[in-house]
Amino acid sequence: MGCCGDGDGDDDDDREPPPRTPDLSPPPSSATAASSSASAADDSTISPMNSHFSALACRDTLRLIFEKLPVPDLARASCVCRIWSSVASDRDMVTRAFAAPWRLKEVVGVPSSGSFWRDNGVGKFAISHRIKRGDSVASLAVKYSVQVMDIKRLNNMMSDHGMYSRERLLIPISNPDILIDSTCYIERDNHAKREVAVLYPEGKVSRT
C-alpha cells in the first residue's frame, strides 16, 4: 500500500496545472474614460454651486470682484445664478460700471429698463442743445463737429423743419473727453423716442 501510495503521489506531482481562462472582458471605452475625467474636472471647477468655493457665494467678496468688471462682463455675471444676479444688478454697482470707462462724475436718474445699462458705448450719450434763433441742423453740426445725418437720426427727424417745433436737440458726442468729470442725466426724449444719458454743458434747466 505504501508503494501504491507513493506511486499515486508521484502521478499527482507530474500533472500539469489546468490552463487559465483568458479575460475576455472589453477594455474601458474612451467615452467611459472621458466621463471619468470630466467628473474629476467637475469636482475641481470653480463654481458658485460648488460647496468647496463658498467665497463665490459671499456678497462682500462678489462686490469686490464685480466692481472691477466692465458692463458686458457684469451682464454675463448676472446670468450665472440668483445671488450673482442680485449683486451684479445692484444699482450702485451697475451705475459705477456704466460711468467708469468715461470717468463720469455722476449719473442721475433711473432708466425704465435695466437693459439700458448693458451698453455704455459713446452712442448712449448726447449733448442737450437748447434751440436758439438762427440755429439750423447744419450750423449745429459744424459747431459740435458731427454729421448732419447723425443729428437727424438721433432726434428722429425727417427734415430740418422738424427742429422748430422743439425746445432742444440732442447732439451726438464727437469727443468722448467731454464726458470726463461730467454729470449725465438718464432721460427719455419724446422726440427721439429713446432713453439717453444727456449732458447739459450750460447746466441743467429745471422744467416747471
The one-digit pLDDT tens for each residue of the chain (208 residues) are 544 445 454 555 556 666 665 555 555 555 555 555 555 545 555 555 554 567 678 888 899 999 999 888 888 888 888 898 999 889 899 999 999 999 999 999 999 988 888 888 999 999 999 999 999 999 999 999 999 999 999 999 988 888 888 999 999 999 999 999 999 999 999 998 999 999 998 777 555 3
Contact 116, 94 (CB under 8 A): no
Residue 49 has what pLDDT? 54
Number of C-alpha atoms within 13 angstroms, CB side, residue 106? 5
Separation between Cα atoms, residue 22 and residue 176, nearest integer Å: 78
Residue 31 has what pLDDT? 52
pTM for the whole structure: 0.68
Q: How far is CA 165 from CA 152, 160, 161, in A?
A: 14, 11, 8
Q: Which amino acid is at 39?
A: S
Separation between Cα atoms, residue 97 and residue 117, nearest integer Å: 9
Cβ count within 10 A of residue 82: 8
